[in-house]
């Protein structure tokens, strides 16, 4: 695969990059990381531009972007922070579940305000005792007359506390491991639901939370799609999700590498720029090689998806490799910036924190390798 974008793709890349430079920028990103506030201005603006609906079909008000255009978008929006990208992407993915399986009433109620940038979504799969093994979820939903009654707890539910958020929650409606799971749309102000914020070192502006469900009663209509199909629905967007993560890591790694190059050229020690020391130079070169390879894997997977082919193995390969590349580049950046790397105003410590999370979020590196192994017939 040759990474030569066509005219439309180049224009799109320039447009999103310019948006990130002018409408978002370093300062804004840094401030929101420190304040842990959701970047509403960016989110609303993206809604106005119609970008939140990139993954949705046109009949639901979306733009039905192909995977290459989508990867270009993700790479650009993660320029300064994976957290900013997650603030946008978490809602975009969850919206695809509502678009694919929601009733006309659910679509009107939830998708329309989302597309305007006025509503966010969260996805609640992980539970305190089941993360990688998400299908072992124990949170229970029982039908009682015309209502579902939900009991249990979820953890690391990102963005659930944001006012007006609708949580798409995976709960057990039967005993079978996969066919016993269903999806529900849970408004975050439902009586019986308690949301506690977690003090994570990453995802600071999106925020991540613990949910406690104590006899939460939901109207029957808050079931998303069919009973017992929840696991299948979640799986439907996984290729896009992993592609978006890989592209985001590439975008953030590029900034981390550029920042390292700029800093080491400026910084003087022993009468010369520290970029002239071979050990530092070679680390940056190794970072550039890893980044180039990560970008090629990512767009190669995107191209395969754009051709309508199955790309489960390829997106997992891209995600693992790009996460490792981002980690290496930001780790070496931390060393190259010396003591100044420890200061938030240099941004490197943020890239480094988030790089560590890249190896865990959206399926850990070990789980991605297990997926690749399965695809290889191992």
Ligand X SMILES: Cc1cc2nc3c(=O)[nH]c(=O)nc-3n(C[C@H](O)[C@H](O)[C@H](O)COP(=O)(O)OP(=O)(O)OC[C@H]3O[C@@H](n4cnc5c(N)ncnc54)[C@H](O)[C@@H]3O)c2cc1C
**Residue 8 host element (H or E):** helix 7-19
CB 6 within 8 A of CB 69: no
Two structure tokens written together for 17 = 């990059």
Strands (DSSP E) along the chain, which ranges?
A: 121-124, 140-144, 147-158, 166-172, 181-187, 193-198, 208-219, 223-224, 268-269, 272-273
DSSP string covering 251-310, please? HHHHHHHHHHHHHHHH-EETTEEGGGSHHHHHHHHHHHHHHHHHHHHHHHHHHHHHTT--
Nearer to ligand X by Cβ, of 93 and 331: the residue is: 93
The CA distance from 34 to 352, in Å, is 15
Give Dmax (Cα) for the chain: 79
Name the residue with the smallest CB distance to ligand X: 131
Query: Residue 174 CB, nearest distance to ligand X (Å)?
Result: 20
For residue 363, the minimal CB distance to ligand X (Å) is 6
Q: Shortest gap between Cβ of 357 and ligand X (angstroms)?
A: 6
Binding site for ligand X (CB under 6 A): 122-126, 131-132, 156-158, 200, 202-203, 208, 357, 360-361, 364, 366-367, 370
* Contact call for residues 188 and 161 (beta carbons, < 8 A): yes
- Cβ 228 to ligand X, closest distance in Å? 19
């Amino acid at each position: 695969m040759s990474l030569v974008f066509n005219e439309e793709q180049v224009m799109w890349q320039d447009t999103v990059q310019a948006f990130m430079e002018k409408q978002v920028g370093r300062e804004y990103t840094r401030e929101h990381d420190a304040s842990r506030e959701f970047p509403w201005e960016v989110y609303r603006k993206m809604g106005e531009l119609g970008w939140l609906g990139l993954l949705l079909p046109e009949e639901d008000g979306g733009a039905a972007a192909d995977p290459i255009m989508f990867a270009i978008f993700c790479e650009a929006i993660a320029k300064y922070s994976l957290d900013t990208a997650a603030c946008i992407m978490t809602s975009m993915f969850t919206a695809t579940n509502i678009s694919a399986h929601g009733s006309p009433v659910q679509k009107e109620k939830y998708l329309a305000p989302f597309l305007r940038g006025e509503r966010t979504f969260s996805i609640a799969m992980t539970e305190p005792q089941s993360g990688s093994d998400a299908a072992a979820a124990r949170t229970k939903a029982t039908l009682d007359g015309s209502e579902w009654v939900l009991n249990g707890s979820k953890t690391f539910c990102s963005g659930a506390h944001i006012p007006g958020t609708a949580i798409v929650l995976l709960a057990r409606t039967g005993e079978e491991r996969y066919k016993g799971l269903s999806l529900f749309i849970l408004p975050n102000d439902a009586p019986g639901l308690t949301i506690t914020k977690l003090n994570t070192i990453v995802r600071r502006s999106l925020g991540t939370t613990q949910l406690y469900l104590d006899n939460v009663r939901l109207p029957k209509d808050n079931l998303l799609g069919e009973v017992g199909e929840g696991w299948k629905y979640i799986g439907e967007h996984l290729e896009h999700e992993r592609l978006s993560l890989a592209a985001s890591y590439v975008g953030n790694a590029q900034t981390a590498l550029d920042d390292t190059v700029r800093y080491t050229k400026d910084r003087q020690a022993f009468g010369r720029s520290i970029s002239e020391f071979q050990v530092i130079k070679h680390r940056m070169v190794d970072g550039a090689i890893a980044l180039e390879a990560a970008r090629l894997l990512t767009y190669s997977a995107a191209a395969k998806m754009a051709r309508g082919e199955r790309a489960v193995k390829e997106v997992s390969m891209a995600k693992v490799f790009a996460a490792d590349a981002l980690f290496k580049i930001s780790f070496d950046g931390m060393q190259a910036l010396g003591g100044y790397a420890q200061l938030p105003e240099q941004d490197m410590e943020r890239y480094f924190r988030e790089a560590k999370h890249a190896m865990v979020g959206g399926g850990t590196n070990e789980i991605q390798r297990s997926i690749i192994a399965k695809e290889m017939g191992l």
